[in-house]
Amino acid sequence: MRGQHIGMGCHFPLADFASKEPVMTRLRTTAMAFAGAAAMFALAAAPAQAAPGDVTTTCANTATPAGYVDVNWGYSASCGGQNLAPNIKQIKQLTGLPIGTVVQACGSTYYPAGWVATSSYFSNSCVAFPNSGFNNNAWTLKRVS
């Protein structure tokens, strides 16, 4: 029987490799497709029952829910896009935090009622759009009511 030598004295028939490789390629491709779909679903899903102060990551094309603020922007291949423009964001649940709490938030969303901006500044982590310059894009927020 003709075969190919694969180190350590093992011989495998060439026909075995030829017949199994396409199956393994299809299996790997299918597994990657399912993994990608699961990642997209997890990133696009709205946060469910988050505790006050919890931070969740979502794709940028998902609207920030009421009671949350954006706290960080970045890029992830799992959220699509052809360039390295920000397409993913982290959002923080503010509802339920005690009066007097201070948080840092991006200026890309409105802050909820009961919160006031005590200062604004530029933050690299809040650059939500390419070429947006160095204008103030973040706030220090304080819960007042």
Domain boundaries, the chain: 45-143
**pLDDT at position 47:** 55
| Letter string b/e over residues 63-78, b meaning 16 or more CB atoms within 10 A of that residue's CB | ebeebbbbbbbbebeb
Q: pLDDT tens digits, residue range 51-107?
A: 999 999 999 999 999 999 999 999 999 998 778 899 999 999 999 999 999 999 999
Among residues 106, 104, 110, 100, which one has the least CA distance to residue 129?
A: 106
For residues 103 and 101, give the distance between their C-alpha atoms in angstroms, rounded to a whole number: 7
Say what the pTM is.
0.66
